Amino acid sequence: MDIIEQAATLLQSGKLVAIPTETVYGLGADAKNSIAVQKIYDAKGRPNTNPLIIHIPNVGAMSDWAIDIPEDAYLLAAAFWPGPLTLILKRHPSVPLIVTAGQDTVAVRVPNHPLTLKLLKRLGSGIAAPSANRYGRISPTTPEHVLEELGNSVDFILDGGPCAVGIESTIVYLLGSKPLILREGSISGSNIQQVLGKEVIKSIEGLEIRSPGSSSSHYAPSKPLYLLEKEDLHDMLLKLIQARKTISVLSFSEKPIRPNPFVFEWITFPYDPGQYAQQLYQQLRVLDENDSECILVEMPPASEPWLGVKDRLQRASRPIK
């Protein structure tokens, strides 16, 4: 039995399978099997009030999971699927409410990974799959990360190598008069606006919708992470050294030549949003696993290509006291 057949058989029997995507690894269950979907929440320690994304094999499958699909959804799907874009649509009555956290909206996307696309085609259904990690923790971008996070809670890991994008998909709500970005990702508001020819917004007054990965504290290491502007990072570094705290640093700057025993590890990141995103969770895990007491991260630029990275770092960070 090959790995695709093995993964499909397990999913059909109500088991959990970790699936590779271009963004992060997902913890997958058959989206039509409510009992299997509950296992996702249990394995992650995820609140049932937090909905899941359904991964589907192609654009044509969208009507199996959503109704009253607007033209904008098909335009965006044609432009970005397979790829890191999730669409929030009106839920099809056949979709179990446990997947949507009781809401009448559903989140769907076509992932851009050959193994998972083969699995979805073989399965003939959708796979509900949040990131394959403990709730609130750093998302996994390799099979090893999944095993570290979930151990025996996952029945099978479909090994697709490292994830190419490295941060979760952009989420767009399409039930209003204008497209609404609920979560930033590698596909920007400008990218979406160019396809649709209409304004893309970031908030709607009075709208209350729970979407995947929307909690304010998320994607976080176990030790404190402080996100600081470049000049503030230097001041905080000196303050912590004086307090004899051991520190790890993630910065655009090179490590100072003068050694300091309290600066445990210094990682210099590329000044490129795509490369930064691809490496982010891997390097946060490295810094979280060493013996330093906290992590200092230099704030990325405020420009649009960096919004996805900045969003993840802000949710991973703690207030500076």
In this predicted structure, the answer to whether residue 187 has a pLDDT above a threshold of 70 is yes
Percent of the chain whose predicted confidence (pLDDT) is above 90: 88
Task: Give me the CATH topology for the region 3-196.
Answer: DHBP synthase (3.90.870)
Instruction: Compute the residue count for the chain.
Output: 321
pLDDT level of residue 1 (50, 70, 90 thresholds): low
pLDDT at 282 > cutoff 80: yes
Share of the chain above pLDDT 70, in %: 98
Same fold, 3-196 and 225-316: no
Contacts of 167 (CB under 8 A, 6+ apart): 23, 24, 139, 185, 186, 277, 280, 281, 308, 309, 312
Q: How many CA atoms does the CB half-sphere of 198 hold within 13 Å?
A: 12
Residue 105 — pLDDT band, cuts 50, 70, 90?
A: very high
pLDDT category of residue 205 using cuts at 50, 70 and 90: low
Mean pLDDT estimate for the chain:
94
251 pLDDT exceeds 90? yes
Residue ranges of the domains in the chain? 3-196, 225-316
State the pLDDT at residue 206. 67
DSSP codes, 242-261: HTT--EEEEESSPPPSS--T
Mean pLDDT check: name the lowest of 32-36, 131-135, 210-214, 239-243: 210-214
Q: Record the tokens describing residue 188, joined without a space.
A: 């920007």
- The region of weakest confidence among 49-58, 85-94, 117-126, 198-207 is 198-207
Indicate the CATH number of 225-316 among 3.40.710.10, 3.40.50.11030, 3.80.10.10, 3.40.50.12140: 3.40.50.11030
Whether the predicted pLDDT of 211 surpasses 90: no
